[in-house]
Amino acid sequence: MEIVDLKLLVVGASGAIGGELAAAAAERGARVAVAGRDPQRLAHAARRARAGPGLLFDAYDLEGGRALGPRAAEQLGGLDAVLVAIGAVAFGHCSQLGPEMEEHLMTVNALAPMAVLEGALPLIGPGGSVGAITGVIVDRPLGGAAAYRASKAALSAWLDTARVEYAHHGVSVLDARLPHLDTGFAGRALAGSAPPLPPGADLDSWVGAVLDALVQGAAVLAPYGRRGEPAASPSTTAGRVR
């Protein structure tokens, strides 16, 4: 599906998934602004997405996260859609990680994406869309990942409520519950080691599915199709960006 001239902010573009989302959106005709933490990787993502200067931010700077939407709108001359693809993972049983690591996961995986979308949603008009990457772990508990799952489930719950609140504005809210992908994310855990995981799903296929779900106004994207292919459930807004 083409997304020509879509004004899209991708947050987390210095990461593997975010960088591919930004590049694929630009390839399909979107006008992209990119935000992320690592200056060098963000500059590379900006070049791939033919974007303006990358917008640097840190997940612990929640006010900076709220400002990303307005900054992107200024750069692009408006804002039609936002995708947030940031996250951190740590492994350990419920009693092992401790409050400091649990707070870190909740900040990066829930509070920071919420802050970004809180700042961006008032700028998006009817037919627009926002979304965030949560993960299939929201639906499927995984031993050794309780704190990680809790942080992603918190974001998913927030997205559910935002979808209800913004339905009458004609703005759709996407919860992208991606499966395990071959990005090396689990190997970069802040603590512990990943339990046995299934083979990683194809990154390119899921990047395309996320972009399609965003512009179609889907509510949830998850591997519920035959043999775990991407399957999207419609939003009550049934909107389409632009």
Q: How do residues 167-182 score in pLDDT, each as one tens digit?
A: 999 999 999 999 988 8
Distance CA 159, CA 26 (A): 25
- Give the integer Cα–Cα distance in Å for 109 and 114: 9
Q: What is the pLDDT of residues 77-110, one digit of tens each?
A: 999 999 999 999 988 888 888 899 999 999 999 9
User: Dihedral of the CA atoms 60, 162, 176, 234 (nearest 10)?
Assistant: -170
**Residues 19-47, mean pLDDT to the nearest whole number:** 97
Query: For the chain, how far is it from start to end, CA to CA, in angstroms?
Result: 13
Determine the pLDDT at residue 236: 47
How far, CA to CA in Å, does 41 sit from each of 24, 30, 114, 203, 221? 16, 20, 23, 18, 27
**10: which DSSP letter?**
E
Q: Is 156 helix (H, G, I), strand (E, B) or coil?
A: helix
**Which pLDDT belongs to residue 1?**
56
Helix (H, G, I), strand (E, B) or coil at 20: helix
Give the pTM. Answer: 0.92
Interior angle at CA 150, CA 115 and CA 95, nearest 5: 130
Distance of CA 86 to the CA centre of its chain: 6
Residue 228: pLDDT band with limits 50, 70, 90: low
pLDDT at residue 227 in the model: 55
Backbone angles phi and psi of 36, in degrees to 5:
180, 180
Look at 241 and 75; give whichever has higher pLDDT: 75
Find out whether 50 and 122 touch, Cβ atoms under 8 Å: no
Residue 34 C-beta-side C-alpha neighbours within 13 Å: 35
Q: What confidence score (pLDDT) does residue 216 get?
A: 94
Greatest distance between any 2 Cα atoms in the chain: 49
CB atoms within 10 A of CB 38: 14
Average pLDDT over residues 238-242: 42
